[in-house]
Amino acid sequence: MAAISRDPWTPEQIIELFGPSEHVALRQTVGEDEFAVAMDAYLRHYHTHHGQVRVYEGIEGLLQGLRGRGVFLGMVTGKGRATTEITLTLTGLRGLFDLVLTGDELSRPKPAPEGIERILRAAGCSPSETVMIGDMPNDVLAAHAAGVEAVAALWDCEWPEELRASGPHHVFETVEALSDWLLT
């Protein structure tokens, strides 16, 4: 916000913007005239401070274990393409996903099933063969809308009660418990 001479946002203001990709949220908040400058500043800040992001212990091994079994791994995220690529590249996870769809590439983001349906088509599999793992209620709602099994990941969930209330088929408190379920 400093790049466009505005006061910084509070964490609560940022959380209120969750849903659409950062491109949509930022454009709606600052307007078209200041969007390019604000977005450039945001991406520079995101990249510079990305070292604060960590991959949870066991996630990389879980993804490698699934890939080793020939599982098609897709990701549907509300984040935009630019920040998604920064995160996946800097964490070393980019090469583990077969298909990544971002919020700015979907006409109807989660909780709509569009992203999951596109991954199903790309993977050539049916909803009954698919598991959607997420940490937000919209992930579970999208899974239900697409007819796939919904799994709630609670190990770093900001809204655990809301996530549980969204009706997942399975709930996992730890990466280890999820890995045991998926890989055994």
- Clarify whether residues 125 and 94 are in a common domain: yes
Residues 68, 131: one domain?
Answer: yes
Answer for the pair 163, 135: CB distance below 8 angstroms, yes or no: yes
pLDDT digits (tens, 9 = 90+) for 34-92: 999 999 998 998 888 888 888 999 999 999 999 999 999 999 999 999 999 999 999 99
How deeply is 174 buried, as exposed, middle or buried, from its count of CB atoms within 10 A (0-12, 13-18, 19+)? middle
Q: Judge if 43 and 66 occupy the same domain.
A: no
Tell whether 66 and 17 lie within a shared domain.
Answer: no
Domain stop point among 12, 29, 48: 48
Beta-bridge partners for 133: 151
Domain that holds residue 113: 59-183
107 vs 126: CA distance, rounded Å: 22
* 66 and 137 part of one domain: yes
Query: Which CATH number belongs to the domain containing residue 137 in this structure?
Result: 3.40.50.1000
Distance between CA atoms of residues 22 and 9, nearest Å: 14
Summarize pLDDT for 127-174 with one digit per residue, the tens.
Answer: 999 999 999 999 999 999 999 999 999 999 888 999 999 999 999 999
74 with 100, same domain?
yes
pTM score of the predicted model: 0.88
* Rounded Cα–Cα distance for residues 123 and 139 (Å): 19
The residue among 89, 148, 155, 104 whose CA lies nearest residue 123 is 148
Residue 54: inside a domain, yes or no?
no
> Distance from CA of residue 115 to its chain's centroid?
11
Provide the domain count of the chain.
Answer: 2
